[in-house]
Amino acid sequence: MSTPKRINRAIVTLKLPRKVPDVIKLATAIVTAMTGNANYPTPEPPLATVNGAINDLTVAETATQARAHGAAATRNDKLATLVQLLEQLKAYIQKTADANMENGAAIIQSAGVNVRKPAVRAPRTFEAKTGAVSGSVKLVAASAARRASYEWQYSSDGGKTWQVAPVTLQAKTTISGLAPGATVTFRYRGVTKTGEGDWSQLITFIVR
* CB contact burial 96-125 (16+ within 10 A = b; e otherwise): bbeeeeeebbebbbbbbbebeeeeeeeeee
Residue 130 bridge partners (DSSP) = 137
Task: For residue 175, give the 3-state DSSP assignment.
Answer: strand
pTM of the model: 0.56
Question: What's the CA gap between 12 and 111, in Å, rounded?
Answer: 10
Q: Are 203 and 128 in contact (CB under 8 A)?
A: yes
**pLDDT tens for the chain, residues 1 to 208:** 444 445 578 999 998 999 999 999 999 999 999 999 999 999 999 999 999 999 999 999 999 999 999 999 999 999 999 999 999 999 999 999 999 999 999 999 999 999 987 665 666 689 999 999 999 999 999 999 999 999 999 999 999 999 999 999 999 999 999 999 999 999 999 999 999 999 999 999 999 9
- Which class for 146: exposed (0-12), middle (13-18), buried (19 or more C-beta within 10 A)? exposed
Question: What's the CA gap between 110 and 131, in Å, rounded?
Answer: 52
DSSP states of 138-172: EEE-----SS-EEEEEEESSTTSS-EEEEEESSSE
